[in-house]
Amino acid sequence: MVSIPGGTFTMGTDPSKIAAIAEAFNIKSHPDIIQAETPAHTVTIALFRMDKYEVTNEQFRTFLKKAPQWRAALVPKQFNNGNYLKDWSGIDFPKGKAKFPVVNVSWFAAVAYCQSVGKRLPTEAEWEFAARGGLENKIFPWGDEPVDNSRANYAGSKINGATTVGSYPANGYGLYDMAGNVWEFMADEWQPYPNGPQTDPIAGGDLFLGNSFLKITTRRVIRGGSWGGGPLNLRVTYRDSHPPDGARDFVGFRCAK
């Protein structure tokens, strides 16, 4: 894990910048997809730690050995949209993909995994603060330079799938794949941003302890973009949502503490 110092930063995007962003990223006909990252607001984050890499297949297999109830054959239907670990055979991940990020997992399984190693999912605010890598007012984790094949695994890379974690340069905090490769589940419920300042926020309440997370039915925040997304999705402010049972091949996670 990497230690993130914490601090106060401006989270999100000022509404006055939506039109310019839409033009810059050639989405002038759909500026509404940027609206969710407004308004910009001040957030104070305490010191925390975050995994350097997205959780891998080999790490998740270790979890399945300890917690067989999260194997595909045993997961209850309310936690499985039909895609859960569909690329696995029992507790065996696809050959040659030990160091690939685990995908086709639900938010529920992500929370359970993090708890099993004494960690938790990051909050959305923690994730954005960490993704910035200590930079201020920059578009991507590396700065303002455009996305290209040397910086991230995204649609323009034409790989059409996830790649080994850590295949691209880390950001200023030493975190890898904070843009591209796979979307990452957050702890937070999908909610609009507030208008005022916040301190260590988590939308939808504190779900870090016990089994209360198993009762969740609301959509969860995902961050970071993926191998199938465009440059717009790789921006540190971009946010989207996903159902908690939404196992897909472009969504994974990493843990925080």
* For the chain, percent of residues with pLDDT exceeding 90: 93
**Per-chain mean pLDDT for the chain:** 96
Q: From CA 173, how far away is CA 49, in angstroms rounded?
A: 11
pLDDT of 27 over the 80 cut: yes
Confidence of residue 57 (pLDDT cuts 50, 70, 90): very high
Average pLDDT over residues 44-54: 98
Q: From CA 228, how far away is CA 203, in angstroms rounded?
A: 27
Model confidence over 175-216: pLDDT tens digits?
999 999 999 999 999 999 999 999 999 998 766 667 889 999
pLDDT of 253 over the 70 cut: yes
Residue 90, φ and ψ in degrees, nearest 5: 65, -120
User: Crossing angle for the helix pair 57-66 and 107-116, nearest 10 degrees?
Assistant: 80
pLDDT of 89 over the 70 cut: yes
Among 52, 57, 45, 49, residue whose Cα is nearest residue 9: 45
Structure-block tokens of residue 98: 């030990």
Global model pTM greater than 0.85:
yes
| Model pLDDT, residue 53 | 98
pLDDT of 30 over the 90 cut: no
The label of the residue with tokens 């996305």 reads 147
Model confidence over 69-88: pLDDT tens digits?
999 999 999 999 999 999 99
Structure-block tokens of residue 128: 């954005």
| Model pLDDT, residue 209 | 60
Expressed in percent and rounded to 5, the helix, strand and coil fractions of the chain are 25, 15, 60
Domains belonging to the chain, first-starting first, are 2-252 (3.90.1580.10)
Confidence of residue 103 (pLDDT cuts 50, 70, 90): very high
